Chain A
Amino acid sequence: MAKTQKLSIWDPALVRAGLVDAVRKLDPRVMVRNPVMFVVEAGAVLTTVLLTSHLVRGGAAIGFELQITLWLWATVLFANLAEAMAEGRGKAQADTLRKTRTETFATRRRADGSTETVAAASLRKDDVVVVGPGEFIPSDGEVIEGVASVDESAITGESAPVIREAGGDRSAVTGGTKVLSDGIVVRVTADPGHTFLDRMISLVEGAERQKTPNEIALNILLAGLTLVFLMAVVTLQPFAIYAGAPQSIFVLVSLLVCLIPTTIGGLLSAIGIAGMDRLIQHNVLAMSGRAVEAAGDVHTLLLDKTGTITLGNRQAAEFIPMPGVTEAVLADAAQLASLADETPEGRSIVVLAKQKYGIRGRDLAAHSAVVVPFTAQTRMSGIDLDGREVRKGAADSVAKYVRASGGTPSADLDAIVQRIARAGGTPLVVAERDRALGVVYLKDVIKGGMRERFAALRAMGIKTVMITGDNPLTAAAIAKEAGVDDFLAEATPEDKMALIKQEQRSGKLVAMTGDGTNDAPALAQADVGVAMNTGTQAAKEAGNMVDLDSNPTKLIEIVEIGKQLLMTRGTLTTFSIANDVAKYFAIIPAMFLLAYPDLGALNIMRLQTPESAILSAVIFNALIIVALVPLALRGVQFTPLSAAALLRRNLLVYGVGGIVAPFVGIKIIDVVITTLGLA
């Protein structure tokens, strides 16, 4: 879905729809949820009323008052526009999703086995439906019979079909996806309106958006600052009267609006929506904003070894011959034994032999070949060809085979096997009757770039723990190679759960990914549980995020997005407050120029007239919201650094920058509006 929706921030259609929404949001009942912007709107209403009365009764400074009033309204509208545009991006995506939720019919199986056709919308939990090839799966459910290839591109954007079958970890199907071949019987697991697609639509639309804990705390801080400035401005009037220079309401409202943190107040909800949206663009659905924030706080990442840290399969890396056997002979035998082996490990042996010794695959049909398949009893596979008998398999099984053929496995073999195991590899012994030829070194292949990513996580203070079913020796070797901080070997779901609880007891937040039903309790216990979309329904319900791409490595990006969300809020708050310094220097001398001309010394920007000074500050205050919309929607640049380094950088950019920028901006606006003769 997200892959089809890469809209530019200033997409004309989005802006147009946003403008309409921005006006609609002027409703005070909506505005009151944002205390900072509510104060601005109240100020704008106040100046509008006064302006109207001045227009009727005549006034001296109507031009100035009109401009102030217009810019105050613009300030409110710009803030609303930011929020509306953030929502608009989600709405566009929701519309695409809605199209897939077309009205379909379902074949429901009654208790007696007969079937009936009903509307998909009438399906309830525990109904059983039959879905044939070319049909849409009518609702979320679990496959209870059959196997089918399913096109899930409507949800995941991935066009390659996936297999869904009864039992095991690939039994979950999603409403709105399409069966391509074969047929399945599905037990419905969601009532109408509560399907995955429904949830997804409401999530991307932001309809269910609730303020997150940090957002609430920040809102309190902003409301408190607004109150402080309200008192500072309201009490300025008596001081001005004492100084013999009572101020007009227009000037006081202008000062108030410039001082209260409108920049962050106006962008706050847009930042939150955009954060969720960024996750969706990464094809991750967060069930709550709280989960996104928690991702930024994570201390410990639990990563499954297979699929996350290593590629799914082991690969042959080396042929280690026994004394008296050449490597080429071993490679040839190993390839022979693997020719009929369709497992990825087997294929990797064929490939390695070809690459290293140019030994090509032989046509088995041309020889009188008998394939000996792998069985759980023998734990060996191999081939009988032209009188030769080649076997490969686990060390102890092959040793047994050699002994049975009258040979004696040497101590050398044992040494090689031990060495490979210690290095984290899997030894595969190759033998021909009573003679062990050597060992194939099967190795876990670490995904490219993982070491660097773990180093980046470490720099951010996040500990990575590898979870694996391997024995501690192997696990330690792979952990070392991948560069994770810790590992949990021979892990059972219970071990995983215990580890999460132990970390949480010491106050840490834990994130993990999972797909199987036995992962569900741990997914629910973890602070951030990312379920794979290919996983079971139970896993998806237990986690608080779903990764539609089913890519466990994405956990790292989720953490980054969570951090980026908080950082954007923090930096814009700092920027907003730092801006006030320049605004004071613009407005205070302008207010009291007549009563105290000497206060002009504070007019360090040398703004032309009191009116142009005040107007410039108000205009700057309004335009900065628009100027920062892209930053709010995109998020501040994220680099994996320690907290101290990050803070130093952000304080410099947004704190010091926040003090300097308005001095420049207000001066430029002052020059422009005085040149245009507006003030």
Chain B
Amino acid sequence: MTLNGWIQILLFLGAVALVTVPFGRFMARVFARERTWLDPVLRPLERLIYRVTRVDESHEMRWTEYGVSMLAFSLVSMLVLYALQRLQGVLPLNPQGLPGVAPDQAFNAAASFTTNTNWQSYSGETTMSYLTQMAGLAYQNFVSAAVGIALAIAFIRGVAARERDTLGNFWVDMTRATLWVLLPVCVAGSLVLVSQGVVQNFKPYDRVQLVDPQTTVTTATSGQTSTTTIREQVIAQGPVASQEIIKQFGTNGGGFFNANSSHPFENPTPLSNFIAMFAIFVISAGLTATLGQMTKSPRHGWAVWGAMAFLFLAGVTTAYWAESAGNPLLAGTDQQVGAMCPGGNMEGKEARFGIANSVLFATITTDASCGAVNSMHDSYTPIGGLVPLVNMMLGEVIFGGVGAGMYGILIFVVLAVFIAGLMVGRTPEYLGKKIEAFDVQMAMLAVLVFPLVILVFTGISVVSPAFGTSSIWNPGPHGLSEILYAYTSGTANNGSAFAGLSANTPWYNVTLATAMLIGRFLIIVPMLALAGNLARKNQVPPSLGTFPVTTPLFATLLVGVIVIVGVLTFFPVLSLGPIVEHFLMRAGTTF
């Protein structure tokens, strides 16, 4: 660990702290339909959209209507994306002449982008046409993020409301999230990224002659050796910048290229890297201030922010420590920091980012269900790789996915308040709303989704040689981690891959898609029911006897509940994966 590394990490957190309140207040204004400086441009556009789609913007929805609208919208989006992939061979904007995508893979990708997961069991540059990338994937990057924001706002309205039946209008919330929150930042952000060298074109792929031709010798099973000399390289092109910014800002994470944010056309410079990381946290951090603003308790927003920031720092510290320490088995090589050497475990990391910016990116992307990567998590030390895994297992609530992080942590807030309330001897209240049996029931339903999906699918896979373990690259605990990571990433709607797992098989394509759909919608439905129920309640005025949700003590308790629920659920499987791998590595065994 270096001072320089720590300065960069703290600089990042400081920047997030600074943007939280202005951006959060801005969002609060947008969703309260108050005037903003963007109105002169966007308001006519918004009206036009409602006129064309025949949406009555004054209509208020109960939680059921809100939920059904959201589900219907997601279903249609998913079907369109599926059709687009299957038919891309006969559609325009396909200079490489890529064929239609196979059914299981198309299903997987459709589920993946609709659920804001962006798990990719394919390589973008060799699978998706420019049309699919732009009209299918980039479009989903916007709307799936907008859906998440809308849902978070609906939940916050439920908490803030007083004896109301409705949570807002889904179509209006989603439209405003897209027009006011996502679009302006993406237009500006993509131009900044282009300035850093991110490409934006419709050209066919470039072919260039190698300065230094490479000769490889391969030995066939028959014993025959053949020699191939590579003189030419294909350099993929495309409209990257426009997709890159929403990939980060909407915590989508699906790379234009297979190498994702470690590809120099997606993430060329340290500055573009900082912008990428910053963009991931902006909306989620801002939503804590929106929560504070809408519930008229800014300090509650900060308490939630503080709990998130604590968990973020704990993760990044652990990962930074593990990766800087390097691999004890490579004692002979130089893992010390030097003028010409970044030190630590550099396997799978880009030299232009080094250890600090790689672990920081890995922590952020898994904290926030983004899933973009600028280094290969599979190559991390066991403990370094444990951090992204645990971040996702905690429920993607450390800032979390846009919107999803907010409603995710509010479910934990309800549980934390419930336990705290009992401990201080009164019926638990959250900002004056009594937490009763139905609320606990819905919160527990949402909590059950993670263990159910992750553990059951991983469990089936590890004991099925035919379709499960056949896909893993490394044996032993590391192989378990590869499968566990895949299902955790899918269920948590993260989308980052541990690599090492050949996930483009019918079994993994279908089960991972299922995990993504359950992980998103089976949490959203009880969450909306909880929000609807909270909205109906009257608010009890706070007194000294009410446990305050604005204090460091509350933040501590919230962290405790998140960690206890996550760790107790996953400790057994983690102990057979990264934890035992760590002890084995120290004893001299690697996988």
The chain A residues found within 8 Å of chain B, CB to CB, are: 213-214, 216-218, 220-221, 223-225, 227-229, 231-243, 255, 259, 293, 296-297, 299, 458-463, 506-509, 562-567, 569-571, 573-574, 577-578, 580-581, 584, 588, 592, 596, 598-599, 601-602, 638, 642-644, 646-648, 650-651, 654-655
Contact = CB atoms under 8 A, between A and B. Distances in A.
A508 B437 contact: no
B427 A601 contact: no
A9 B425 CA distance: 23
Contacts of A242: 462-463, 469, 480, 576
A602 to B, nearest CB: 7
B583 A231 contact: no
Interface in B568-591: 568-573, 575-576, 579-580, 583-584, 586-587
Q: Closest 3 interchain pairs by CB?
A: A570-B422, A461-B545, A563-B425
B538 to A, nearest CB: 5
Given A297-B426, A571-B423, A596-B584, A462 B573 contact: no
Given A221-B444, A224-B447, A506-B541, A573 B553 contact: no
Interface stretch (B16-24, B220-228, B347-355, B452-460): B452-460
**A237, A588, A647 pick with most chain B CB within 10 angstroms:** A647
A232 B580 contact: no
Given A239-B480, A458-B544, A508-B540, A573 B568 contact: no
A225 B459 CA distance: 20
Contacts of B553: 644, 647-648, 651
A221 B427 contact: no
Contact of A213 (B420, B432, B436, B459): B436
Contacts of B462: 238-239, 241-242
Given A228-B448, A231-B451, A570-B425, 8 more contacts: A218-B422, A228-B569, A243-B576, A566-B421, A566-B425, A570-B419, A570-B422, A584-B568
Nearest to A293: B427
Nearest to A589: B575
B436 A643 contact: no
B435 interface: yes
B576 A240 contact: yes
Given A461-B546, A647-B424, A602 B579 contact: yes
A566 to B, nearest CB: 5
Given A217-B440, A507-B541, A570 B459 contact: no
Dominant SS among interface residues on chain B: helix
A231 B456 contact: yes
Nearest to A245: B576
Nearest to B588: A598
**A227, A238, A566, A602 pick with most chain B CB within 10 angstroms:** A238
B575 A602 contact: yes
B478 to A, nearest CB: 12
B423 A646 contact: yes
A358 to B, nearest CB: 50
Given A228-B448, A506-B541, A598 B427 contact: no
A228 B572 contact: no
B474 interface: no
B418 interface: yes
20 contacts: A213-B427, A214-B422, A217-B436, A221-B419, A221-B440, A223-B444, A232-B568, A232-B572, A233-B572, A239-B480, A239-B576, A241-B462, A296-B426, A562-B425, A566-B422, A573-B419, A592-B575, A643-B548, A644-B553, A647-B420
A646 B422 contact: no
Contact of A296 (B425, B447, B579, B586): B425
Contacts of B477: 243
B424 A570 contact: yes
Contacts of B445: 224
Contacts of B424: 563, 567, 570, 643, 646-647, 650
A508 B423 contact: no
B541 A508 contact: yes
Contact of A580 (B420, B540, B568): B568
A580 to B, nearest CB: 5
Contact of B543 (A213, A461, A577, A581): A461
A595 to B, nearest CB: 9
Given A213-B436, A224-B447, A259-B568, A567 B423 contact: yes
A578 B564 CA distance: 8
Contact of B437 (A213, A255, A259, A460): A213
Contacts of A220: 437, 440-441, 444
Contacts of B426: 296-297, 563, 566, 643
B566 to A, nearest CB: 10
B347 to A, nearest CB: 22
B526 to A, nearest CB: 11
**B435, B564, B586 pick with most chain A CB within 10 angstroms:** B564
Given A224-B448, A235-B456, A299-B540, A574 B423 contact: yes
Given A232-B570, A240-B576, A644-B548, A650 B423 contact: yes
Nearest to A216: B437
Given A297-B427, A564-B425, A650-B423, A228 B580 contact: no
B539 interface: yes
A228 B451 contact: yes
Contacts of B184: none
A94 B253 CA distance: 67
A296 B543 CA distance: 13
B568 A235 contact: no
Nearest to B435: A217
Contacts of A293: 427
Nearest to B421: A570
A295 B489 CA distance: 46
A646 B451 CA distance: 33
Nearest to B539: A507
B308 interface: no
A416 B539 CA distance: 49
A224 B441 CA distance: 8
B551 interface: yes
B552 to A, nearest CB: 10
Contact of A236 (B441, B538, B557, B573): B573
A565 B426 CA distance: 9
A599 B580 contact: yes
A239 B572 contact: yes
